[in-house]
Amino acid sequence: MKFNLRSTKFIIAATIITMMMVSCVESPNTKRSDSSGISNTKSSVNAGYGRILQDNPIILSGNSNLDEDVNLAKLLKSNQDFITFNTQLKEPCILITDCIQVTEDYNIEPFTNSDNRWAFTPTTTEFLQVNTFGHINKITDAFHNNLLNHYNNIATPTIDPSLATSNYPTSLPISLFNSKGHWNPMRPLIAYADCDLSNNASFSPSTFELCMGYDLVFKDQVKFAQDNTVIYHEVGHGLVDIMMNMRNTAEYARTLADPLLDDFVIRSDLGYGTYDEAGSINEGLADYFSYYVNQRPHMGEWALGRFNNASRPLKEDDSIHASGIAVDENSRLSYPTYLAYNPNNVTLPSEDIHYAGQIFSHYLVALTEDIQSQCSISKANAIKTVSYVLTETLAELGDLTAKGNDFHSGTAINLNQDKSQVWISSVNPITYRKISQYMGKYLLNVVVNSTTGICSANAVSPTPSPLPYSKDDVESLLDQYGLLLFRTYNDNGNGKSGEEYSFSPSATAVDTLNRKRTELLSKSQLTLETRSDFNSFDIIDNQATLKSIIDSYLLQGKITGLSELTDSDLGFNNGNGKASPGEVVGIFVNLYNNSNSIMGGARVTAADWSHMENDQPCSNLSDAFPTTSQGGTACTTVTDANFDDSARYHPVCMMEYNDGSSTKILSQKEFFNQLKTDAGLLEKDCLDPNDTKTCMVRALQGAETQTVSMIKPKANWTETISKADGSPSFSAGNFMYFEINKNIPIGTKVTCRLRASYTNCDDCHHDSSNGYDDFRDWEYATEKPFNIINITFQVAD
């Protein structure tokens, strides 16, 4: 066949005409927009498609004072967004059929949309649901794609880390995907896009639900689901929950499959109280997940920021920041200085996990930019890289099986399966120090390590020296944020002697020359307040106040319950500011910072510990109380083999007892035995009839720790976090809570041997006798990482 000029011309002409014809055909997506905005109707989109707001209304409009009555249709773009081909807002994901659902509110099924065209007028609840669904899919897709790449190409979870073919020791379990550890193994993520919750949004790990509420004042106009950054933030909490529980989910699946094993049902949280550092890290991470999707270092400008003055920046050059905060290495939002810094009101300190969490979100954004720059990779790839590091970090820190790695036969994190939950929440919780240390470890393993190939600039042959992205870079940035709070990377784990990670038997040291701004203080600088103008501790026992707190804690699951001896209405609470029989009391321990620097994350814990032997209090601890003449005993050395012996491992509170000839300090068990003889007390008269060790006074499980954000130098917390009038800013979360047995004799003196620690403390974490490696997990059952703080009160009528 021959083509002559004429036929060729004809073909060209026909093709051009045809293409012009095609370009003139109006497809459903190209809808005209006029002053009333996009006509977002079903006829304007193809099946499976709809339209969502590409950012929040403030950003899309460019108007930070945008009116609540804004016509959102004007902010929609004409192009369509793929939503779903399903007829309901439901979507599967990798290996999970029922992965994501969006509905209007609790108890309402996802609506059925039989033509699966998802364009709705922006004032409708259907639009809110589509908007929520679209953004949840966006972040979920990114998360799962990154996780797949991480698992398949970077982490080598199936290879023994001691082999040369392993890239590095990963915390990802081998069965990550098969056990559904990449999502919630039990249920879909359900989002309520038009939730009946005023001025708020929430994430519930146990039901795996999001609730996107509405503005209290502009209830009909302003919805949290109109702000994609808040959606990303709330889903971010869900992703944190997933990452924290990757190893726990794998263990759950393993035990479920084997009828001989007990089902491993418990899961980790990142955050335990009203204020604690784990909770603030969770908030910082959730904010970062907004940046993770949109690469924009600010979140919550619409419902949170515009109407509640509560949006949050993620980078120091944000105009919302106070003067003096900048991206240069000396002006970062550093720890602990900015723990109570509220960019929306810089004049008053604010003890709030969201604001404290800004330190971490700012660090993560700076880390992303550092990796992008030093490794010569795109921002998108730098964000992925940070997500690998975060996943590794959280999967190990949250591991309640205590193994930390599939190839490790011993324990290395969170003590052991039996006590891991109390260790991670109260005894050795996740703090800014711990998260920085594990982030550091995985930055070395994943990014600096050229075998992973992630940092392009490092992964060239021959290996450059010095590395473009090096250990010094990791340490330097952490230090700029005051987060170089550790002396080693603890890569050998926290297990007992002989149970170090076999693939990393020794700990990598931090170069101390890189610690320029981070301060490590001595634990002896944290003391009980003794100045005459202040109380050493305060007791609250007002019935209405305590009832409100306890009811809330019970319904929210913060505490496990009260003794059956305690009146559920707290009818014995008399409000005299003292501990009386039958009461539930709150105790605030007033800690004093005797150093010349700010202390961060000061904690007092009333968790049980090894301070006795043969049920008698040790006399030879640093508090030298009680002496042997006061009933103490010289205890033998606590070891990893005996630390939790029942006769050693005791609750904190001890009782004074006079036998007629002398006064002794007794364990509660011994006190019970004496009263049994003296007054016929029975086990059933104890707070827990099965445990005479907590017979008379016990800390409420879940409310046994007090954490404050920061303490100024030469001051206590009440002088640090105060209201405009200078009075302390107390809330329920500042207290520990105790039950007092109604059968305790009036006049009994109670001494509670509490333990205190803080985050930027040197000898609270580093064992100087072991190369400044971290204390082992079991040593947190002793006094070594703590200051003993004794408080004594007398039971009053």
Partner 1 sequence: MKKITLIAATSCLILAGIFFTIKNRNTSTPDQTVSEKREETNQKKSTAPTQSQISATQDSAPKDVEQKKDTEDTSPKKSKRTYTREYTKEEKALVSTLLKRNSHFKNSDIEIMNIDKKTQRSSVVITSEHKGAKYSFSALIDNRTGKVLRTWGRTIMERRNPLIIE
Site for partner 1 in 25-84 (CB under 8 A): 25, 27-30, 42, 46-49, 54, 77, 79-84
Please state the closest distance from residue 792 (CB atom) to partner 1, in A.
23
Binding residue for partner 1, selected from 15, 41, 378, 794, defined by CB under 8 A? 15
Nearer to partner 1, 137 or 368 (CB): 137
Q: How far is CA 745 from CA 213, 394, 579, 680, in A?
A: 50, 47, 12, 13
**Could you tell me how many residues make up the chain?**
797
Work out whether the CA dihedral 711, 473, 511, 449 comes out positive or negative. positive
Nearer to partner 1, 10 or 614 (CB): 10
- Candidates 222, 184, 176, 172; CA nearest to 201 is 222
Contacts of partner 1 in 187-216 (CB under 8 A): 197-207, 209, 211
Alpha helices in 167-314 (DSSP H): 228-244, 246-257, 277-294, 307-308
Contacts of partner 1 in 373-432 (CB under 8 A): 421
Binding residue for partner 1, selected from 61, 68, 221, 266, defined by CB under 8 A? 266
Question: Of the listed pieces 6-14, 342-350, 572-580, 761-769, which binds partner 1 according to CB under 8 A?
Answer: 6-14
- Candidates 105, 109, 120; CA nearest to 42 is 120
Contacts of partner 1 in 503-562 (CB under 8 A): 540, 545, 548-549, 551-552, 554-561
Contacts of partner 1 in 452-471 (CB under 8 A): none
Work out whether 634 is an interface residue with partner 1 (CB under 8 A): no
Binding residue for partner 1, selected from 3, 35, 463, 769, defined by CB under 8 A? 3
Work out whether 276 is an interface residue with partner 1 (CB under 8 A): no
Nearer to partner 1, 147 or 675 (CB): 147
CB 795 within 8 A of CB 507: no
Nearer to partner 1, 49 or 501 (CB): 49
DSSP 8-state class, residue 118 = B
DSSP 8-state class, residue 426 = I
Nearer to partner 1, 461 or 727 (CB): 727
CB-neighbour burial class of residue 110 (10 A; exposed 0-12, middle 13-18, buried 19+): middle
Please state the closest distance from residue 137 (CB atom) to partner 1, in A.
6
**151 contacts: CB under 8 Å, gap ≥ 6:** 157, 172, 176, 177
Nearer to partner 1, 5 or 513 (CB): 5
Query: What's the CA gap between 79 and 90, in Å, rounded?
Result: 22
Please state the closest distance from residue 244 (CB atom) to partner 1, in A.
10
Question: Of the listed pieces 90-98, 441-449, 515-523, 618-626, which binds partner 1 according to CB under 8 A?
Answer: 90-98
Contacts of partner 1 in 675-714 (CB under 8 A): 702
Contacts of partner 1 in 323-382 (CB under 8 A): 352-354
Question: Of the listed pieces 144-152, 317-325, 473-481, 523-531, which binds partner 1 according to CB under 8 A?
Answer: 144-152
Binding residue for partner 1, selected from 103, 358, 518, 536, defined by CB under 8 A? 103
Query: What's the CA gap between 522 and 529, in Å, rounded?
Result: 17
Binding residue for partner 1, selected from 137, 616, 668, 705, defined by CB under 8 A? 137
Please state the closest distance from residue 109 (CB atom) to partner 1, in A.
5
Work out whether 217 is an interface residue with partner 1 (CB under 8 A): no
Work out whether 735 is an interface residue with partner 1 (CB under 8 A): yes
H or E segment at 740? strand 736-740
Query: What's the CA gap between 236 and 212, in Å, rounded?
Result: 14
Please state the closest distance from residue 657 (CB atom) to partner 1, in A.
29
Nearer to partner 1, 240 or 781 (CB): 240
**135-174: b (≥16 Cβ within 10 Å) or e:** bbbbbbebbbebbeebbeebbbbebebeeeebbbbbbbbe
Binding residue for partner 1, selected from 38, 44, 53, 144, defined by CB under 8 A? 144
Contacts of partner 1 in 113-132 (CB under 8 A): 113-117, 120, 126
Please state the closest distance from residue 154 (CB atom) to partner 1, in A.
12
**282 contacts: CB under 8 Å, gap ≥ 6:** 237, 240, 270, 271, 353, 357
Binding residue for partner 1, selected from 151, 363, 486, 649, defined by CB under 8 A? 151
Work out whether 170 is an interface residue with partner 1 (CB under 8 A): no
Please state the closest distance from residue 310 (CB atom) to partner 1, in A.
7
Q: At what angle do helices 246-257 and 228-244 cross, to 10 degrees?
A: 50
**144 contacts: CB under 8 Å, gap ≥ 6:** 93, 94, 182
Nearer to partner 1, 274 or 416 (CB): 274
Please state the closest distance from residue 312 (CB atom) to partner 1, in A.
11
Question: Of the listed pieces 267-275, 527-535, 612-620, 709-717, which binds partner 1 according to CB under 8 A?
Answer: 267-275
Please state the closest distance from residue 273 (CB atom) to partner 1, in A.
10
Please state the closest distance from residue 290 (CB atom) to partner 1, in A.
12
Binding residue for partner 1, selected from 512, 568, 636, 658, defined by CB under 8 A? 568
Q: How far is CA 50 from CA 39, 76, 109, 153, 347, in A?
A: 11, 11, 20, 35, 45
Nearer to partner 1, 380 or 746 (CB): 380
Work out whether 496 is an interface residue with partner 1 (CB under 8 A): no
**Neighbouring C-beta atoms of residue 265, cutoff 10 Å:** 10
- Candidates 751, 747, 752, 753; CA nearest to 795 is 747
Question: Of the listed pieces 261-269, 315-323, 522-530, 590-598, which binds partner 1 according to CB under 8 A?
Answer: 261-269
# residues contacting partner 1 (CB under 8 A): 132
Query: What's the CA gap between 548 and 320, in Å, rounded?
Result: 36
Please state the closest distance from residue 353 (CB atom) to partner 1, in A.
8
Please state the closest distance from residue 130 (CB atom) to partner 1, in A.
10
Please state the closest distance from residue 594 (CB atom) to partner 1, in A.
26
Work out whether 142 is an interface residue with partner 1 (CB under 8 A): yes
Maximal C-alpha separation, the chain: 126
Question: Any long-range contacts for 336-340 (C-beta under 8 Å, 24+ apart)?
Answer: 336/432, 336/482, 336/598, 336/599, 336/600, 336/601, 336/709, 336/710, 336/759, 336/760, 337/482, 337/598, 339/280, 339/600, 339/601, 339/709, 339/710, 340/709, 340/710, 340/720, 340/721
589: left (phi over 0), alpha (psi -120 to 50) or beta: beta
Question: Of the listed pieces 145-153, 358-366, 479-487, 602-610, which binds partner 1 according to CB under 8 A?
Answer: 145-153
**175 contacts: CB under 8 Å, gap ≥ 6:** 181, 250, 253, 254
**545 contacts: CB under 8 Å, gap ≥ 6:** none
